[in-house]
Amino acid sequence: MRTGIATVCLSGTLKEKMQACAIAGFDGIEIFEQDLVTSPLSPEDIRKMAADLGLGLDLYQPFRDFDGVTPDLLKANLKRAEAKFKLMARLGMDTILVCSNVATATIDDDQLRAEQLALLAALAGDHGVKVAYEALAWGKHVNDYEHAYRLVEAVDHPNLGTCLDSFHILSRDWDTAPIEDINADKIFFVQVADAPKLSMDVLSWSRHYRVFPGEGQFELAKFMGHVVRAGYTGPVSLEVFNDVFRQSDVERTAVDAMRSLIWLEEQSAKWLAGTSAETAAAGTSEQKAAGRRRYPMELATLPKVNEPAGFNFAEVKADDTAQLEKLLGQLGFEFEGRHRTKDVQLWTMGQARVIINEQAALHTEPAIAALGFDVDSPVIASARAQQLKAPVVSRKVQADEEVFQGISAPDSTEIFLCQGSPDGTAAWTQEFGEGLEHPRAAQTAVIDHVNLAQPWQHFDEAVLFYTSALALEPQPFAEVPSPSGLVRSQVMQASNGAVRLVLNLAPVQQASAPKTYQEHIAFAVDDLVATARSARERGLEFLQIPANYYEDLDARFDLEPGFLATLKELNLLYDRDANGEFLHFYTATVGSVFFEMVERRGNYDGYGAPNAPVRHAVQYDSLHRA
């Protein structure tokens, strides 16, 4: 698959954008007109720079408001087009995107539109240019890709084809199956963008909220599957108008973009294989043959991973670890010893393993540093992540120690791909301490979920990272009210719930305010009330829940008075839905970390979302009092 990206996706000057695209490994780019007009570089300079960088100049765009106009305007539009065709010759470019008229079209007549497009195609032919006509979702008269294609067919000129843009098609919920019936020679270009499902006017949605594939909710693998089945072999190019990407680090955004295309390519191949198998199974020999058909576009695949089977460990770091040790001890964790060769400690409760890393630099406040995930094959998972351009993390190991495959997540959390064992133990724990003599406590526990705060400019990147590299499934995002703003919260989870990662987008921080960037690790136990009582006896400082909360809880759930009193006495939070019940409590925060203990009853699958605003408010209050 030939990969591309429009310069409008990125921040910086045209030169910076092109360099970043080359570093990220794109085959080609779309030059957005504004980027050229504002550039100090001559068209010849740009042409040479692209050649030196090994980048194809695949599309010049956009040319606006051509069709359906009065004769006067048509004349002016053809003159304007000719100037652009001449410019393209200097750039060495041969394809231009013409989008359907949104402003100046006064005549809604397909025959007239076809006649005008025919004149444009003939002029383009004279200049060796191909015109890719795209239906904008908000086009005045042409806003549907099938309509645009009918016009292309009616004109029937070798220099006129269509451009399919996933956003314009999927935002309007147009059926994508008829893409397969388009003559591949008439598909001159394909643009892809994802988007969250939002209810707003489609133009604002398109201009501000597009995201890279895998970061939104559109069915892009299916869209691409139909494009591939149509027989298209040209560039598949990202065109993402996004307020955040346009102001964040250009090289990093280009890599995020490239990751999205690598992933989309694999997902498209998977979608095709899945639907082909269905077709083949369906019966007739014709259908079987269709199921086995090969397509002219070659789709690369990736090393395969299944979703992770569980958390292997969580690691917190600090230069002064005393507070962390105290908190874990009070929660009921046991100190298992120090590592043979590294300055790290192991603490466990049942199968929940927490590493305290003492190697942190001076003045490092306690923070979550790393997460280990149980995967089928750490080597295969690591190969996949690296092909998806995840930065590799390496840690020194001695000859007889387990080698962890590590990658760095967008928020710099180190992700280790570990060999899980069916009984939930981990072989590497043998590297800690010596012959654990003390009797094992009966307490069973696992890491239930981990909540990571994401810098605002890397939130979408993180969603794609965990989706593509770790096969976690993004859930619809929620917005949690907190005293410092609305916190966007998105759960990434394995389908069986064995791994749950909650990504929170912290509200933008006032420079003078205390740091509200907090993250936590939650452990699930069988009996939360007993766990809370023991923790209280050991002197644990609980997050103090206001009395108002319990009154509201009673009003909502009509709880048994004794149970309500227990919740209140122990600062426990409660939630209930059709699947079951959820009890939980939080510790005070040390550095940027706090811990949560949860008990899931029945098949409760959430996180106590209705309680999140209470937690945020109490934490805010204690930060501001401190």
Ligand X SMILES: O=C(O)c1ccc(O)c(O)c1
Q: Which is nearer to ligand X, 200 or 403 (CB)?
A: 200
The interface partner of residue 468, options being ligand X, Mg ion, none and the CB cut-off 5 to 8 Å by kind, is none
* Residue 133: CB minimum distance to Mg ion, A: 11
Q: Which is nearer to ligand X, 6 or 385 (CB)?
A: 6
Residues 6+ apart with CB under 8 A from 116: 66, 67, 68, 69, 74
* Residue 34: CB minimum distance to Mg ion, A: 14
Q: Which is nearer to Mg ion, 28 or 366 (CB)?
A: 28
Whole-angstrom CA distances from 390 to 54, 351, 383, 438 are 23, 28, 10, 41
Q: How far apart are alpha carbons 36 and 281 in whole angstroms?
A: 51
Q: Which residue is nearest to ligand X (CB)?
A: 62
* Residue 261: CB minimum distance to ligand X, A: 17
Q: How far apart are alpha carbons 616 and 330 in whole angstroms?
A: 23
- Our finding on whether 243 is near ligand X (CB under 6 A) is no
Size of the site for Mg ion (CB under 5 A): 3
Q: Which is nearer to Mg ion, 137 or 305 (CB)?
A: 137
Residues 441-500 that bind ligand X (CB under 6 A): none
Q: Which is nearer to ligand X, 165 or 194 (CB)?
A: 165
Question: Exactly one of 31, 97, 142, 528 binds ligand X (CB under 6 A); which one?
Answer: 97
The interface partner of residue 65, options being ligand X, Mg ion, none and the CB cut-off 5 to 8 Å by kind, is none
Q: Which is nearer to ligand X, 101 or 531 (CB)?
A: 101
Q: Which is nearer to Mg ion, 239 or 599 (CB)?
A: 239
Q: Between β-strands 580-586 and 485-493, what pairing exists: parallel, antiparallel or unpaired? A: unpaired
Question: Exactly one of 4, 28, 43, 62 binds ligand X (CB under 6 A); which one?
Answer: 62
Q: Which is nearer to ligand X, 65 or 448 (CB)?
A: 65
Q: Between β-strands 573-577 and 56-63, what pairing exists: parallel, antiparallel or unpaired? A: unpaired
Whole-angstrom CA distances from 191 to 201, 210, 441, 525 are 21, 12, 58, 48
- Chain centre distance of CA 324: 31
- DSSP H or E stretch at residue 189: strand 187-192
Count Cβ atoms within 10 A of the Cβ of residue 326 and give its class: 0-12 exposed, 13-18 middle, 19 or more buried.
middle
Question: Exactly one of 21, 99, 220, 314 binds ligand X (CB under 6 A); which one?
Answer: 99
Q: Which amino acid is at 96?
A: I
* Contact track, ligand X, 117-146, x by CB under 6 A: -----------------x-x----------
- Our finding on whether 239 is near ligand X (CB under 6 A) is yes
- Our finding on whether 260 is near Mg ion (CB under 5 A) is no
Q: In which residue are the tokens 């016009």 written? A: 151
Q: DSSP strand E in 321-475: where? A: 334-338, 344-349, 352-357, 367-375, 392-393, 405-408, 414-419, 445-454, 473-474
Check: CB of residue 28 under 8 Å from CB of residue 2: yes
* Residue 134: CB minimum distance to Mg ion, A: 5
Handedness of CA 111, 117, 123, 128 (dihedral sign): negative
* Contact track, ligand X, 177-196, x by CB under 6 A: --------------x-----
Size of the site for ligand X (CB under 6 A): 11
- Our finding on whether 165 is near ligand X (CB under 6 A) is yes
Q: Which is nearer to Mg ion, 239 or 265 (CB)?
A: 239
* Residue 125: CB minimum distance to ligand X, A: 22
Q: How far apart are alpha carbons 49 and 583 in whole angstroms?
A: 60
Residues 170-209 that bind Mg ion (CB under 5 A): 191
Count Cβ atoms within 10 A of the Cβ of residue 623 and give its class: 0-12 exposed, 13-18 middle, 19 or more buried.
middle
Stretch of 234-242, 443-451, 490-498, 564-572 contacting Mg ion, by CB under 5 A: 234-242
Nearest alpha-carbon partner for 381 in 407, 402, 401? 407
> Angle, to 10 degrees, between the axis of helix 459-470 and the axis of helix 378-387?
140
Q: Where are the alpha helices (DSSP H) in 473-611?
A: 528-537, 547-557, 561-570
* Residue 295: CB minimum distance to ligand X, A: 25
The interface partner of residue 531, options being ligand X, Mg ion, none and the CB cut-off 5 to 8 Å by kind, is none
Binding residues for a divalent metal cation: 134, 165, 191, 239
* Residue 396: CB minimum distance to ligand X, A: 49
Binding residues for Mg(2+): 449, 520, 596
Question: Exactly one of 30, 94, 165, 374 binds Mg ion (CB under 5 A); which one?
Answer: 165
* Residue 121: CB minimum distance to ligand X, A: 19
How many helices and strands (H and E) does the chain possess?
18, 25
* Residue 165: CB minimum distance to Mg ion, A: 4
Q: Which amino acid is at 191?
A: Q
- Our finding on whether 207 is near ligand X (CB under 6 A) is yes
Q: In which residue are the tokens 């359906």 written? A: 68
In the three-class reduction of DSSP (H, G, I as helix; E, B as strand; rest coil), residue 346 is classed as strand
DSSP 7: G
Q: Which is nearer to Mg ion, 165 or 374 (CB)?
A: 165
Binding residues: 134, 165, 191, 239, 449, 520, 596
Residues 349-408 that bind ligand X (CB under 6 A): none
Question: Exactly one of 206, 242, 260, 451 binds ligand X (CB under 6 A); which one?
Answer: 206
Q: What is the DSSP string of 132-149?
A: EEE--TT-SS--SHHHHH
Q: Which is nearer to ligand X, 64 or 252 (CB)?
A: 64
Q: Between β-strands 473-474 and 485-493, what pairing exists: parallel, antiparallel or unpaired? A: antiparallel
- Our finding on whether 61 is near ligand X (CB under 6 A) is yes
* Residue 33: CB minimum distance to ligand X, A: 9
* Residue 205: CB minimum distance to ligand X, A: 10
Which residues of this protein are in contact with Mg ion, per CB under 5 A? 165, 191, 239
Which residues of this protein are in contact with ligand X, per CB under 6 A? 61-62, 97, 99, 134, 136, 165, 191, 206-207, 239
